[in-house]
Structure 1
Amino acid sequence: MKLHRLVLSNFRGVAHREIEFPDHGVVVVCGANEIGKSSMIEALDLLLEAKDRSTKKEVKQVKPTHADVGSEITAEISTGPYRFVYRKRFHKQYETELTLLTPSREQLTGDEAHDRVRAILAETVDTELWRAQRVLQAASTAAVDLSGCDALSRALDIAAGEVAASAAGESSLIERIDAEYARYFTPTGRPTGEWAAAISRLAAAEEEVARCAAAVAEVDERVRRHASLTEQLAELAQHQARAQHRHATAQAAADKIAVLTEKHHQAQLVAAAAAATSAAATKAHTERLRLRTEFDTRAATVAALDAEARQSADAAARVRADVAAADAAMDQAACVRAAAQRRAESARRILEQLGDRDESERLSARLARIDALMGDRDRVNDELGAVAVTEELERRIEDAAAAVDRARSRLALICATLEFTAAAEIELATGGQRVSLSAGESWSMTVTDSTAVEVPGVLTARVIPAATAIDAQAEYAAAQTELTAALGAAGVADLAAARRAAQQRRDLENSHEQLNAIIAGLCGEDQVDELRCRLARLRAGHSTHSDLAAMDISAARAELEAAEAACAAADAECETRRRVAASVAREFAEVSTRATALQTKVATHRAELDAVSDRLARERASVSDEDLAAAADDERRAAQIAERRVAELAEQLAAAAPDMAAAELAEATEQVEVLRIRHSEVVRALHEVSVELAVFGTEGRQSKLDTAEAERERAAGEYTRVRRRARAAELLRLVMARHRDVTRLRYVEPFRAELLRLGRLVFGSTFDVDIDSELRIRSRTLDGCTVPYESLSGGAKEQLGILVRLAGATLVAKEDTVPVLIDDALGFADPERLARMGEVFDVVGAHGQVIVLTCTPARYDDVQSAHRIELCG
């Protein structure tokens, strides 16, 4: 590529400028600061890369600030077989024009012109070299990277004795390998694309399996809680029965004490009455009148109490019948609840057996697939056993074939070729072979061993090759023998057959690895024998329940739900009946107690009435004081008897321990209440668990777990496949990078030689450099002192950077050259170095274009062949 002419109009602060450049040599373009020297490089880049209507920041920045006009750039360029004039206007009235001058004249405009120039540059210009061959003000001391320049690589290939097209082919292959590597890894080596997606999918599947397993475990926990609550409810029922019995016993004891208390009270009343009768003997007449009134009153009271006692007895009889009916209803509800529980247990067992049947079917299908894959693996093992070409034999054959090719090439280069041209008809004899030549006919032969050529009857000539040719022939024969032996050991006819057999072995090994991975994924953490034993157990259990074959698991679940609902309903009904029976029992106890109290009261009042009647009869019979005194004496004795009766009853009441009986009754009552509350809480908790289990039954948690586990298996298989491809791409990239580095090492020597040739013009004969495989300077040696590149001064770095670019410019082929652009460099160089750099510019200027932009042209006075262009503001 060569730049012949550049025209700028309204570009930043440049109103108009036109410069013509010579085809060869050093061009020094000089001018003051801010006159627009660096803008020329920027304009050339925009012309070749940006479209005329581009809105990029780089395009907007070049628009003049003092006028509303569009920036124009025109360049005349030649590259490869093309020479063209290219013009663009930006910002206003966008315009692109292309005029092709050679190889045939052609004119294009707009995007068509832009695309045509881009195609020409892509075809003929190494863009990486075009970018690298610049020394800019902002990066004049930065290290130069020429590793991506295909043109320089081709030139170094030729200089190193390689085929010129190999670098391009290798670069294309590396690009494809990098593209394949980028499908799976980021530039820093982290997973991306398919590989990251496979990792994420497997992680998500594992998380979903864990979540579904937790959900199923939650159902199991609720089932266990339901069973535990059911057991607690049964235990509470037993405790309640015992507490009710204790309460009834305590109540009976309390009733007995109440009777004793009442008798004691009645005895006290009798004693008091006797005392009162004795005291009132003197007031017989008055007492007789009071006794008549009292008799009438008590008689009425006794009649009323007797009627009330009969009503209470009738009510107690009726309530006793209700108690018997409530007890019968409670017993019937208990039977219904027991039947519902038996039905639920049966439905639960059937559902578990159907689950075992389904698991048996899934396990059978899984084992069938594993058996099929193991059969395929055995077949692959058999085929692998039939392949005789091992990796060691493959390497031996490849090495032997390479040795044969090298020996053949060396033999062809070293051996002499004899050519005979007959001036007249003649016959030649060599090695038992006779060759007849007519006049003007030619015949040739390659001499690899001592050979005699005879013209019968005329002369005999013996050609003895040099020792080097004989050694080469022996080396070639040995290589052929080794290749034949290696092919024989592998049991193949030739190199192609050996490669096919080796490829077949690798394919079979890959298939074997894939089958092992799939079998491992299907088996998971279980062994195949364990799976078979488990299937046998499931089938054995299934065979004992052959009547379940026609049953549907959904019907079994529905039956279990119905049975559990019936069981819950029976529990509720049983509890209702129990509460009714308890209520009726309490009512019966109250009515019985009331009837007993009324009967006791009637007896007491009747006794009192009888006493009053006796007293009245006795008083009526009394007509004298003696009779009255006798009556008083009788009454006194009766009072004493009554007092003894009171004492006896008091002793009996104390022996019955009324305080302890009351405490026992209170404690038994409290226990009954506590158990009732606990029973209600357990019933409520059992109902809540039953509702939760009913909701869980509609969610299909087990099926979700099965689906999640199947997805995990698929994700694991995909993960294994993608990982194998990703690791293969990574390995291939590493191998190719290593190969590329080895190849680039061959580039280093010719590049280093050219850099030494130019560098010694500047630094002297002791100058030496160390170049890495990326064609970067690692260290510089001068006068026996080696300094790393990073530790060099700014001037030395800048001078070496220019030398590297100039060395690259001299090495590339003529058709691949691009202009070397140097923007205001060598500001750090001393006068002696400037003079020597001028010699280097003179040497390189003969090979191509070197364009120097500077505000200090005196730096380049020592460049004898320089063409100078002055820029005016």
Structure 2
Amino acid sequence: MRLLSLRVKDFRGIDAEEVSFSDGITVVAGRNEAGKTSLVDAFDFLIKHKATSRREEINRAQPYRTEAGPEVEAEFIIGNERVSYRKRWLTKPETVLAFLEGPRAGQTLVADEAHLAADELWGSLDSQLWEASRLMQASALDQSPLSSCSALQRALEAQAGGTIDDGSSGPLMERVTAEADRYYQPKRGDFSRSTKAAVERVTAAEKRLAEAKDALEELSDLVTTLVALEADIDDQQAVLDGQRRDLGGLAAQAESARANQSALEAATRTVETAQRDCDDAKAQLAAREALVVAAENAGSALAELLAAEASAKESLAPLEESVSDTRDTITRLKSELTDVKKSLASARRFEEQSRTKTAVERLQGQLDDCDRLTKEIAELEAGSVPVDGTVLDRVVELEQSIAIAEATANAGAARVRVESLGNPEAILLDGAEQILGPEAFEQAILDELVIEIPGQLRFTVTPDIAAGGSRRDIDRLREERREILADAGVESTSELKEAIRRCEETAAEIVRLKDRRTDRLEGREESVIRDELSRLLASLERGEEAVEGDIDALVARQEQLEVERETADAVLDSHLREADLLRTRLAETEGQVKNQQIVTTRATEDLADARSRCSDEDLEKALAESTAALTAAQSDVAKAKRLLDESGGAAVLTDYELQVKHVEGLQKILGDVRHEHGVTLGILDAKNRDGIQSAHDRAEHELQQAVAERDSILARAEAARLLEEVLARHQKETHRRYIEPFRSALRDLGRATYQDPSFDVDVSDQLEVVSRSMGGTTIPFESLSTGAKEQMSILIRLATASLVSPDDAVPILFDDTLGYSDRTRLRRIVDAIGSADGVGQIIIFTANEDRFAGLDSAARVRI
């Protein structure tokens, strides 16, 4: 697969961007947040998501505060098909797939038909190799799962002399591995999702039991808190009364001191006015001096720029003639190279078609038996209505939240109290009759309340904003509970529990049937087998007529032509850069000349205009007068301040203001304590003590069941792991012969890069680098520095690409790499990238283009 171009519009922070990629190395440079990583993500969206999808990640890709839908278009080559593929999401969704070259050239598909056809094309690629060939900025420097890359496996098997099979890696090993996969992650470093779920159910049950215990203790804490708050209210009231008496004594003294304070403020304002006048005079004089200097400097700068402009024009003409000749040479080489590549592709197709037919018959028989089990599973799933167990937890949580919210709203809301001062009377409350007896009628105001004495008067009580918000919160919680039950197809909590039980029984039967289907598939995913069969059939159907040819001779001619073309490209690029540099300098100089002419004229005119309005002598005179006025005003301020200090007025005013703030603070504290007392009392009244005890007992029972289930699963997991380890030991030696071509390629690349013949690597059965040796020291991969890990990650991807067949090749993507390497190793890794043979496309995204300056043959794009 080769990526030719990518156009992105209205995607995250990208307004519009289009990038073209060369067959070799392309360096895409741009500042941070310019959208480099977003370009890669946009291409992934194009391949994975339908235009009609409303997934959250697509919604997040839409630019902030805009109605425009994200749009992505790419041109790429897969096999013998060259296509243009475009999608737009959210706003007027659109999908268009146009076949530009190949068997279907000229055909255009739209909507779902285009999406399915693109999926079929993409299915012919090794998707694991596509993911493993990236080294992205935001991802950790963990190793990619190369053992699952079918393209690399084919290449290694070919170099090892055919398919590796020592007898212990057949169906028995696959079934044992499949059983172990049920309980562990593929690397066996951690449990699988289902095993973790059993362990997590124990943890969740322990957490629920702890929460139930906390709820019991919370009841006791609320009673203790309520008693303490009542005592605190009495203490705060006594302190507030005393401070109010002190405030009355200070008020008379403060009134007397304000007169002296006013006199000082008036004198201070006079000083400020005089100071501004003095500062203005100084600034005007300094500005006049600056105008004189600016006029002199502008004339000198203009003369220098005119001389530079003439020199730049003389250097540009010879370069433009050389660029035209070099372009003619490149056009001729490209035409001849295209012919050689077509002949080479035909010869390779001839070999590939004979291998594909053998694999089709084997896969079809395996899938027929699986379809029957799949049908049984589908029938069970069609008759089952799935109910998520977390729905019940959410309903119970909502019921508790409604009770607490109602209690809190009643405790914190305003209240109305109506008393009868004579015989019992009838009144109307919101139109309903209410008889006032000897006891007063009292009600919290959460909604608007109308009270009417028939025939006499009517008045309306409106709740405050906070109370209205509480009532809306309660209504929202009740509506959410009703919607959850309706979505589950029930009307009550008990019906929901019964539906969950039925769902669990059906799920258990489905799991049994799926285990039987997994055994028949011998540990492989059905979708993987179907995809492989579809890919092979599609490959045979769309295969072109192939002609046997001398592949080695054609490859040699192709390499020769590519070297000649790269040399011509380098010469053209060098001349273009030099010409662009000269044009840029000339344009900059011409602009500078125009700007400087304007600056010079303006500076001369500004100086003449300023002198016409006020002479230099008048400015000096104004400064002397304002300085004398400032000295006199400062003397008046000193005298007024001395009188205020002698009377003690400033201290009296400060004491009075502080006492006022202190009393206000005490009032607020008392109000907060009273509010907290009301809320605590309301929460305590709303607590369901019997329900809390029942929840505690239920949590204990659930914990016992979860522990028993976890222990059973862990015992089966340990047995499966031990059996897998015994079989793996017999398999290891055979796999070493399979791994050696990959290890050899990586070792040779490392020795050439670091110029160290002692460089070596240890590679695991999963094609992961276990350790690196150099200079007599062996270091585990995980213990390498960040820079060393990054360098090894790059070499791993180059080695993988060098082994994979050109028909299976995919682009290598590097996103802002080599940020942790010193200068020497940086240059060596860059040289390894530039000199790697047979690796196909390399696309580098970077915010620091100078890191890759050594890639002289790379195409460069700036965004």
TM category, shorter: 0.3 to 0.5
Larger radius of gyration: 1
